[in-house]
């Protein structure tokens, strides 16, 4: 049994709301602030939230670890709803090549990019991947991230796809950060299927999806719907097939060119569409109507030196926006959600409050976890961050700096001095 924890005198951004489901428009600005706020945790679950005076009355005489958070911000643990965190090797040479003028897709079409990581991931043992991924999760945790989504997709053969998903499962036992697994067999067409793309789509549908479902290794099914990768028609077939196994669709959509990905996300009932740098106005409208969450990745846009997605316009037009690192070895090798929040403000003109909603509650919605994480409310998991800043505005304003002081996962302090 874990000890009771009492956090007092915090500037508390609770993100609580009576409204259910992903937030858009003005609802993204309401972060449920409580000045001189306080919360009580028992057995890893938040029991009470209010002002310090209010909680003093009920809990003042009880035994607990007391944390004095005077003049500092406390938020829910950050949620990263889109990562490719399980991979072998690194690609720093490609980084140099891109700075010299090569494009991301040129490198990939020449057998580098995702294919290079697939070779290194195929070669790595399960133990090696567990070890490397565990270090990345440590880094997420020190940046205030307590839950990540993780995708397969560096195998593109069933053995390696299952290996990646099993690594995520094994890490559930070994690491405090929760990983929510997504199958992404359709991340690229492997070289052995070049010119026979539809055959590879059939392999995904007839062999990989049943194997993933049999071992219950994933909750979501993602596709890289992009010119020269998977067409909207192929993507649709894969996502519809996944639905038959209960896998919820997600789509890497309109990242490099406008390709109807946002429209497809709305059509197949995807929980979220990712990237959306080149999403059409019609696509954004369709997402708003369908209630599809836009999962925006401004660190990827920066790293590829592209214009970021239209975050401001999407929020204003009623699309619920989540943000994510896209942590991967090619287009966004970072674990810093605080940096992503900074970039949501700087590159996409989202406000500091909207960026926080996008990295907590809406991010939890994008991975179907809003009932247990993403806000500080009684009954929810005590995943929390104490930041060494006095306000949420300061958190977004002092950019590129790690302000994390302490992190609690399920009520247990995992970062900072107890």
Residue whose CB is less far from ligand NIG, 219 or 222 = 222
Residue closer to Fe ion (CB basis): 114 or 284 = 114
Task: Please tell me the distance from the alpha carbon of residue 202 to that of residue 354, in angstroms, as a whole number.
Answer: 41
On whether the CB atoms of residues 187 and 116 are closer than 8 A, the answer is no
Interaction of residue 221 with ligand NIG, rule CB under 6 A: no
Using CB under 6 A as the criterion, what x/- string covers residues 38-77 for binding ligand NIG? ----------------------------------------
219 lies in the binding site for Fe ion (CB under 5 A): no
Residues 154-173 that bind ligand NIG (CB under 6 A): none
Site string for ligand NIG, 181-220 (x = CB under 6 A): ----------------------------------------
Q: Is 313 exposed, middle or buried (0-12, 13-18, 19+ CB in 10 A)?
A: middle
Q: Give which of 327, 358, 347 is closest to 135, Cα–Cα.
A: 327
Q: Could you say whether residue 115 binds ligand NIG (CB under 6 A)?
A: no
- Name the H helices within 36-76: 52-59
Comparing CB distances to ligand NIG, the nearer of 11 and 231 is 231
Q: By C-beta, is 297 or 404 nearer to ligand NIG?
A: 297
Q: Which residue of 306, 326, 354, 383 would you call a contact of Fe ion, by CB under 5 A? A: 326
- Nearer residue to ligand NIG within complex by CB, 255 or 370: 255
- Is there binding between residue 113 and ligand NIG (CB under 6 A)? yes
- Minimum distance from CB of 300 to ligand NIG (Å)? 5
307-310: long-range contacts, CB 8 A cutoff, minimum separation 24: 307/277, 308/277, 308/343, 308/347, 308/348, 309/275, 309/276, 309/277, 309/279, 309/348, 310/276, 310/279, 310/284, 310/348
Give Cβ neighbours of residue 194 (< 8 Å, ≥ 6 apart): none
| CB contact at 8 A, 86 and 152 | yes
Give least dist CB 319 to ligand NIG, A: 19
Closest-CB residue for Fe ion?
326
The closest alpha carbon to 225, from 199, 248, 246, 255, belongs to 255
Considering the rule CB under 6 A, would residue 136 count as an interface residue with ligand NIG?
no
Candidates 11-19, 193-201, 326-334, 395-403 — which segment interacts with Fe ion by CB under 5 A? 326-334
> In sequence order, which residues have a C-beta less than 8 Å from that of residue 212 and are 6 or more positions away?
161, 162, 165, 183, 185, 218, 245, 247
Q: Which does 237 bind (CB under 5 to 8 A by kind): Fe ion, ligand NIG, none?
A: none
Selected binder of ligand NIG within 221, 310, 328, 342 (CB under 6 A): 328
Minimum separation from the CB atom of position 164 to ligand NIG (A):
13
Tell me whether strands 404-409 and 384-387 are parallel, antiparallel or unpaired. Answer: antiparallel
Instruction: Give the DSSP H or E segment for 130.
Output: helix 126-142
Bridge pairing between strands 220-225 and 248-253: parallel
Among 16, 72, 84, 98, binds ligand NIG (CB under 6 A): 84
Q: Of 80, 161, 254, 255, which lies in the binding site for ligand NIG, with binding defined by CB under 6 A?
A: 255
Q: Of 18-26, 264-272, 327-335, 389-397, which segment contacts ligand NIG by CB under 6 A?
A: 327-335
Neighbours of 317 (CB within 10 A): 15
User: In this structure, are residues 78 and 360 in contact, taking their beta carbons and an 8 Å threshold?
Assistant: yes
Smallest distance from the beta carbon of 84 to Fe ion, in angstroms?
A: 6
Q: Are 257 and 228 in contact (CB under 8 A)?
A: no
Nearer to Fe ion by Cβ, of 254 and 326: the residue is 326
For Fe ion, give the closer residue by CB, 276 or 350: 276
Residue number, 74 or 321, with CB nearest to ligand NIG:
321
**Smallest distance, Å, CB 252 to ligand NIG?**
5
Burial grade of 308 (CB within 10 A; 0-12, 13-18, 19 or more): buried
Angle, helices 281-290/261-268, rounded to nearest 10 degrees: 20
Shortest spacing between CB 330 and ligand NIG, in angstroms:
2
The angle that helices 158-174 and 114-123 make with each other, rounded to 10 degrees, is 70
Tokens of 222: 């993602």
Query: Is residue 88 part of the contact set for ligand NIG (CB under 6 A)?
Result: no
Positions in the binding site for Fe ion (CB under 5 A): 326
Positions in the binding site for ligand NIG (CB under 6 A): 84, 113-114, 117, 224, 252, 255, 300, 326, 328-331
């Amino acid at each position: 049994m874990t000890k009771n924890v009492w956090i007092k005198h915090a500037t508390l951004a609770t993100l609580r709301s009576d409204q259910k489901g992903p937030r858009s428009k003005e609802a993204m600005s309401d972060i449920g602030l409580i000045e001189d706020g306080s919360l009580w945790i028992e057995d890893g679950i938040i029991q009470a939230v209010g002002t310090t005076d209010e909680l003093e009355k009920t809990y003042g005489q009880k035994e607990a670890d007391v944390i004095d958070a005077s003049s500092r911000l406390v938020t829910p643990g950050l949620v990263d709803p889109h990562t490719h965190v399980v991979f072998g090797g690194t690609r720093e040479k490609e980084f140099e090549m891109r700075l010299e003028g090569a494009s991301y897709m040129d490198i990939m079409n020449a057998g580098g990019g995702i294919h290079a990581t697939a070779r290194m991931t195929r070669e790595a043992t399960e133990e090696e991947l567990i070890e490397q991924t565990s270090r990345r999760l440590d880094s997420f945790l020190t940046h205030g991230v307590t839950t990540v989504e993780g995708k397969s997709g560096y195998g593109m053969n069933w053995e390696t796809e299952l290996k990646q998903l099993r690594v995520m499962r094994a890490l559930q036992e070994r690491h405090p950060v929760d990983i929510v697994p997504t199958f992404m067999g359709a991340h690229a067409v492997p070289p052995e299927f070049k010119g026979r793309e539809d055959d590879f789509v059939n392999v995904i549908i007839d062999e990989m999806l049943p194997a993933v479902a049999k071992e219950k290794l994933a909750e979501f099914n993602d596709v890289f719907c992009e010119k020269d990768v998977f067409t909207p028609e192929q993507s649709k077939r894969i996502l519809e097939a996944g639905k038959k196994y209960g896998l919820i669709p997600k789509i890497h959509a309109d990242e490099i060119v406008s390709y109807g990905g946002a429209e497809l996300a709305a059509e197949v009932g995807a929980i979220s569409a990712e990237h959306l740098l080149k999403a059409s106005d019609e696509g954004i409208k369709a997402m708003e109507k369908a209630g599809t969450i836009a999962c925006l990745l401004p660190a990827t846009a920066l790293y590829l030196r592209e214009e970021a997605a239209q975050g401001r316009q999407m929020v204003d037009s009623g699309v619920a926006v989540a943000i994510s690192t896209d942590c991967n070895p090619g287009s966004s090798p970072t674990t810093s959600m605080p940096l992503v929040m900074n970039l949501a403000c700087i590159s996409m003109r989202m406000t500091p409050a909207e960026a926080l909603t996008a990295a907590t509650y809406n991010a939890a919605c994008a991975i179907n976890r809003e009932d247990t994480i993403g806000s500080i409310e009684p009954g929810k998991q005590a995943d929390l961050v104490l930041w060494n800043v006095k306000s949420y505005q300061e958190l977004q304003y002092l950019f590129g700096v790690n302000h994390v002081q302490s992190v609690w996962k399920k009520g247990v302090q995992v970062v900072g001095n107890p």
